[in-house]
Each structure stands twice: as C-alpha cells, then as structure tokens.
Amino acid sequence: MNRSKLFRQLLEQPGLTLRPCAYDALSAILIEKAGFKLMGTSGYAISASAIGQPDLGLISFGELLERARHIIDSVSIPVDVDGDTGYGNALNAYWTFKNYIWIDAAGVRIEDQTWPKRCGHMSGKSIISKEDMVHKIGAAIRARDEEKSDLVIGARTDARAIEGFEKTIERCAAYADAGADYVYVECPQSLDEVKRLVDEIPIPLAFNLIPGGRTPSFSIRELQDLGVKYLSIPMVCLYPAAKAMSNSLQMLREGDLTGIGEIGVSWSEFNELIGIRKWRQLEEEFR
C-alpha cells in the first residue's frame, strides 16, 4: 500500500494520531525507529537547521523541497509535508503540490497566511481571503487528480489570532467544503474552542503544541477525549537537540570529554542508527 493510503487509514481509524516533525533525515530516522506510524516536516525547524534563520519565509521552496525529499527517502512511513502557503497564488500552489507528489509525500498542508509567511505562533501575521484559499485548495486537488495520487491535502488557518474564533469556524467550514482532507487550526485558545471545532467541522481537526507557544498546554488525553484527530508536535526533535548540543559544547569548553560521551550515543550505536550494517553487507556482496 502506498504511503498516502496509509496516511488516510490513520486519519480514518479511531483515536488521535500524533505527528512528530522531522527537520532532516537523521531526525526522521529517529522518529521512525521510535515506533511512530506517521511524521511531518516542520518549516520552522528546517529554516532554523538549514539556514540558521527564523521562520519568516526566508528559506526558498526549492530548499524546502530538497530537504523534504531527503526526509521522505530516509524512512518508510508516511510523511506529511509543511507546504507553507504554496509559495504564491493558486498556480504556485498547484506547482507546489505537483512537486511534492513527485517526491512521494503522503500529504501536504498549506496555510492561509500571506507570503512571506511566519511561524503561526509569532505576531505580525496576515492572511489571504477565504476565497483565495479555497482556490488554492482547488488547485491542490487538480494537481492530485492529474497525478492520479492519493495525496492527503491539509488546509491550515491562522485566522484565530487575526479575525477571531467565529471567522475561524467559517474558514474551516469553507476549506472542508472545498475538498481539504483535514483542517489545521493554529492556536485555539481553550478546550471549549477545540470542542466547537470538532463538533462543527465535518473533517478531521488538527493543530499543534509548541513549548512556550501560543496554544495553551492542553494534554494529549484531553484532546483525544474531545475528538481531535491529528496533533502535530513540531519541536519534539529540534528543541531537545539544540539543548543537548549546547550542553555538549559547554562541556567541551570545560574540558569534560567524559560528560560528552555520557550524554550522547556511542560510535557503534550511531553507525547502527544510520544503517552501516546494510552497507557492509552490500560491500561484501559486491567484492
């Protein structure tokens, strides 16, 4: 079964699906080895790791596409790609979806911010009209149909911080009517809002949780009990990795090589993680 169909099955089965997000091939491998059945990519994390800059639309579509390709190629589970805004109008969105289908993305989500966009938990956002976003969803469906793909199309709205909750509901309903497979609401502000979204939107509801972000610290259990279908944890790899690297470098400044060894994996463990055994076997086979 192809990865898009597997993704669809996860959205259709009972319960909440967690989506930890990768920012490179190594973090993707770790997510799969941890036993997750699905992962996402995080534009925020890729921007930080690839160019060392905040998520303000500074990294290009081509750079994000190439990073997504490496992530997808490194694992066997479905990967739901962060497609930002589609990088322009409906025509750009059409081309974005085509390219992600060609690299075997299981899903792509786009958002209704203007371009250049910014992380959904940052201030200073602006959004396009509901009608323009509906056109982008239509363009995504056209690309999927032309490629005879099962790609899952996600539609994210950042309207909660700009137009308020009622307009957010309206946008979610419009995006569902336009044919999105799930809607992703940035930063709902209470469990009551989450419940209304679940009750009033006829397709799966998704959003994210970020430590220190603008979404309250809901528990996974609370969200599952309310019927949330899909929950993104975009910084599960990036923030701990940044902390571990910072600690390790401080130990090095202090001359503590033993401490560095204790907080990291060993030489042999790391080589196993990145697949050295397979390459050794191939090497023997082709001698």
- pLDDT higher than 90, residue 213: no
Q: How confident is the model at residue 266 (pLDDT cuts 50, 70, 90)?
A: very high
Instruction: Report the CATH fold assignment for 3-238.
Output: TIM Barrel (3.20.20)
Do residues 18 and 220 make contact, with C-beta atoms less than 8 angstroms apart? yes
CA distances from 209 to 86, 112, 255 (A): 23, 19, 37
Contact between 22 and 241 (Cβ < 8 Å): no
Q: Where are the alpha helices (DSSP H) in the chain?
A: 3-12, 25-33, 43-51, 61-74, 90-102, 130-146, 165-178, 191-200, 220-226, 238-253, 257-263, 267-273, 276-285
What's the pTM?
0.95
Residue 57, pLDDT score: 93
One-letter amino acid identity for 136?
Answer: K
Q: What is the DSSP letter of 88?
A: S
pLDDT band at 277 (very low <50, low <70, confident <90, very high): very high
pLDDT of residue 217: 83
**What confidence tens digit (pLDDT) does each residue in 250-261 have?**
999 999 999 998
**Which value, in Å, is the radius of gyration of the alpha carbons in the chain?**
20
Reported as a single tens digit per residue, the pLDDT across 100-140 is 999 999 999 999 999 999 887 888 899 999 999 999 999 99
pLDDT at 156 over 90: yes
pLDDT tens for residues 7-42?
999 999 999 999 999 999 999 999 999 999 999 999
Q: What angle do CA 95, 107, 228 make, to 5 degrees?
A: 135
Cis peptide before 234 (omega within 30 of 0): no
Q: How many CB atoms neighbour CB 214 within 10 A? A: 16
Half-sphere exposure of 52 (CA within 13 A, CB side): 0
Beta bridge partners of 113: 127
Name which of 53, 51, 43 is nearest 21 in CA terms: 43
Q: What percent of the chain has pLDDT over 70?
A: 100
Give the model's confidence band at 212: pLDDT under 50 very low, under 70 low, under 90 confident, else very high: confident
The confidence score (pLDDT) of residue 124 equals 86
For 44-57, write each residue's pLDDT tens digit.
999 999 999 999 99
Mean pLDDT computed over every residue of the chain: 95
Element (H, E) at 182: strand 182-185
Domain ranges of the chain: 3-238, 243-285
Higher pLDDT, 177 or 259: 177
In percent, the amount of the chain with pLDDT more than 90 equals 91
**DSSP category for residue 16:** P
Q: Is the pLDDT of residue 68 over 90?
A: yes
